[in-house]
């Protein structure tokens, strides 16, 4: 589902109205009625509440007038306020304001600070407030009178439902450009917008409902400009293929996990278990020879391969040839490998000589921190990197703070210039493709902030890449299921107590839920 900026949303409206022929008044009517449907769903006692609808002078206010009329006709106690001069309302918004008047609905003009002092407490005395002041057109911070209105509404402690965006936000950035409504819920029209799905602005959006107002999906798909999508359950479900009744393990890919070092063998285990739970047909763990017994003891299902090692227990730089000799459809390298000159040489050799799909994580990425120009994909060989913010910051030579301030921009530039896939981990994990498409993952939970969860994701990515043979689809599905498994583990163990191993144990449950099959109980029935 496309995430749009203000220009793209205007273009979607224009094409729908001018090229397809759906009148703008119809879109406004649809918007208002969809907002009402969302409000009724959230507040089943709506008929017992008093509702204040606070409208601006533009189309967002026009949507509010439709909401007011629809609620009034359903017997809801509605009061309507215009923040500004009524005489300045034009176009479709004026049409719907005039309809309200003919239906006998009083509309109170609140045009300045003096009027706000008179009516502000009247508005905040209602049981529910509908914010229809500003939509996606705002590009400058609210000041003066409007800043006062927003501050007083926020301080009132009354639930607020915003239409399209909480007033004060800009659709062009996930940053807060100034004071903004702290919404309980936001009903956004047609498609999600950046500040509703990415921090820090999304913290003020409350529950987000995406309302279909009649703009055809093809219109969104054909829009020019940044291609940013929100991963959805329906899209992810369609990526999981049904398995043939006569399938065998060779049909689902051979994954080689190159991971581990003395003291960090667990990273290899978690990566391999992630690959197995995500459906890889065969998994082999290649690790320093001294780690091999411990890794083999953790699971009977994967195979192990001992590699030459240094006295410190890290992989020897000459071991790349041994890894390349293992039969593999996908190699994932990095978890727990450790650092050092030998590891760096080994990883770079692997990248240079291996012609198949490659997933690089953790210490495999640190091998390129001083020469990121060497970290490049090539035609016919998919390369996926899975950095956390610290690793990504080292690759691009910036601070973590600067990276977090422009995650989409920095990840997109790196993916384009290095011709690889970037899976930038963290809250709202990003998947960025070499052709600059960006996907935002909505799943996950704070309990995943624990050691080893990234190792699990690397294994899952390799497994889905081996099965789907499509790097973009594998990245999208892996991050979505990884977050879903984390949510399920959180539900069973709590965000404080859950571990990466708990997440692995819930990958199957996440797949069952996504494919609409009954979730298998994780505990014995008493």
Residue that terminates a domain, selected from 197, 230, 263: 230
- In a domain, residue 521? The reply is no
Q: Is the pLDDT assigned to residue 452 strictly greater than 90?
A: yes
In a domain, 236, yes or no: no
Q: Give the sheet arrangement for strand 107-110, strand by strand.
A: 107-110, 77-83, 50-55, 128-132, 160-163, 185-189, 207-211
Q: Is residue 523 part of a domain?
A: no
Domain residues for the domain of 6 are: 2-230
Residue 421, Cβ neighbours under 10 Å: how many?
25
Whether residue 153 is found in the same domain as residue 40: yes
**Shared-domain flag, residues 273 and 339:** yes
75 with 170, same domain: the answer is yes
Question: Is residue 52, in this structure, part of any structural domain at all?
Answer: yes
Q: How many Cα atoms sit within 13 Å of 195 on the Cβ side? A: 30
Average of pLDDT values for 50-68? 98
CA 457 to centroid of chain Cα atoms: 16
What per-residue confidence (pLDDT) applies to 517?
A: 61
Given 230, 262, 291, which residue is the final one in a domain?
A: 230
**Model-level pTM?**
0.93
Q: Is the domain of 316 the same as that of 443?
A: yes
Asked whether the CA dihedral 418, 420, 421, 424 is positive or negative, the reply is negative
* Residue 143 domain flag: yes
For position 520, what pLDDT does the model report? 43
Number of structural domains (the chain) is 2
The predicted-structure confidence for 484-521, as pLDDT tens digits, reads as follows: 999 999 999 999 999 999 999 999 999 999 998 644 44
227-230 and 2-3: which strand pairing? antiparallel
Q: Are residues 270 and 406 in the same domain?
A: yes
Same domain, 260 and 350: yes
Residue 525 has a pLDDT of 36
Same domain, 217 and 305: no
Q: In degrees to the nearest 10, what's the CA dihedral of 229, 234, 235, 236?
A: 110
Task: Identify whether 526 is part of a domain.
Answer: no
Residues 158 and 121 reside in one and the same domain: yes
Same domain, 212 and 288: no
Secondary structure (3-state) at 77: strand
| In a domain? residue 425 | yes
Q: Are residue 348 and residue 480 in the same domain, yes or no?
A: yes
Predicted local distance difference test score (pLDDT) of residue 345 = 97
The string of pLDDT tens digits covering residues 247-289 is 999 999 999 999 999 999 999 999 999 999 999 999 999 999 9
Helix (H, G, I), strand (E, B) or coil at 326: coil
The average pLDDT across 458-470 equals 97
Output the pLDDT for position 518. 42
Give 209-254 pLDDT, tens digit per residue: 999 999 999 999 999 999 999 999 999 999 999 999 999 999 999 9
Q: Say if residue 27's pLDDT is above 50.
A: yes
- Residue 248 inside a domain? The answer is no
Q: At a CB cut-off of 8 Å and minimum separation 6, what does 406 contact?
A: none
Strand order in the sheet with 227-230: 2-3, 227-230, 437-440, 430-432, 421-424, 383-386, 358-361, 330-333, 254-258, 282-288, 303-307
For position 516, what pLDDT does the model report?
A: 82
Per-residue pLDDT of 123-165, as tens digits, reads 999 999 999 999 898 989 999 999 999 999 999 999 999 999 9
Catalogue the E-assigned strands of 297-429. Answer: 303-307, 330-333, 358-361, 383-386, 421-424
């Amino acid at each position: 589902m496309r995430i749009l900026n203000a220009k793209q949303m205007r273009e979607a409206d224009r094409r729908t109205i001018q090229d397809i022929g759906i009148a703008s008044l119809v879109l406004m009517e649809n918007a208002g009625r969809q907002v009402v449907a969302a409000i009724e769903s959230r507040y089943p006692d709506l008929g017992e509440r008093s509702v204040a609808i606070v409208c601006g002078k533009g189309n967002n206010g026009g949507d509010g007038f439709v909401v007011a009329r629809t609620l009034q006709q359903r017997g809801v106690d509605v009061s309507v306020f215009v923040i500004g001069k009524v005489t300045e309302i034009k176009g479709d918004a004026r049409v719907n304001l005039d309809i309200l008047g003919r239906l006998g609905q009083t509309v109170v003009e609140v045009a300045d600070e003096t009027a706000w002092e008179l009516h502000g407490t009247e508005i905040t005395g209602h049981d529910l407030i509908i914010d229809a002041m500003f939509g996606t057109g705002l590009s400058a911070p609210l000041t003066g009178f409007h800043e006062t209105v927003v501050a007083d509404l926020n301080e009132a402690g009354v639930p607020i439902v915003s239409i399209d965006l909480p007033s004060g936000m800009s659709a062009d950035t996930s940053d807060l450009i100034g004071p903004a409504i702290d919404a309980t819920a936001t009903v956004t029209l047609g498609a999600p917008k950046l500040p509703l799905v990415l921090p820090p602005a999304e913290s003020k959006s409350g529950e987000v409902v995406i309302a279909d107002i009649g703009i055809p999906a093809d219109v969104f798909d054909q829009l020019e400009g940044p291609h940013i999508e929100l991963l959805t359950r329906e899209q992810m479900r369609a990526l999981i293929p049904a398995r043939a009744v006569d399938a065998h393990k060779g049909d689902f890919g051979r994954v080689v996990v190159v991971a581990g070092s003395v003291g960090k063998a667990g990273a290899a285990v978690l990566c391999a278990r992630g690959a197995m739970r995500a459906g890889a047909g065969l998994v082999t763990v290649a690790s320093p020879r001294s780690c091999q017994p411990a890794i083999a003891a953790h699971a009977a299902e994967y195979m192990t391969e001992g590699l030459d090692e240094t006295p410190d227990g890290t992989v020897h730089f000459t071991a790349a040839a041994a890894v390349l000799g293992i039969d593999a459809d996908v190699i994932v390298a990095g978890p727990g490998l450790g650092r050092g000159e030998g590891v760096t040489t080994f990883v770079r050799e692997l990248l240079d000589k291996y012609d198949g799909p490659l997933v690089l994580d953790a210490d495999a990425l640190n091998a390129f921190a001083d020469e990121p120009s060497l970290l490049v994909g090539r035609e016919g060989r998919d390369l996926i990197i899975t950095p956390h913010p610290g690793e990504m910051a080292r690759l691009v030579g910036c601070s973590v703070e600067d990276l977090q301030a422009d995650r989409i921009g920095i990840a997109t530039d790196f993916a384009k210039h290095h011709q690889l896939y970037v899976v930038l981990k963290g809250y709202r994990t990003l998947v960025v493709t070499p052709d600059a498409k960006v996907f935002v993952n909505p799943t996950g939970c704070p309990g995943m902030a624990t050691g080893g969860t990234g190792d699990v994701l690397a294994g899952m990515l390799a497994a889905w890449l081996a099965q789907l043979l499509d790097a973009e689809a594998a990245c999208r599905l892996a991050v979505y299921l990884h977050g879903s498994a984390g949510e399920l583990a959180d539900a069973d163990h709590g965000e404080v107590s859950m571990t990466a191993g708990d997440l692995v144990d819930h990958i199957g449950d996440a797949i069952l839920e996504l494919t609409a099959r009954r979730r298998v109980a994780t505990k014995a029935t008493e």
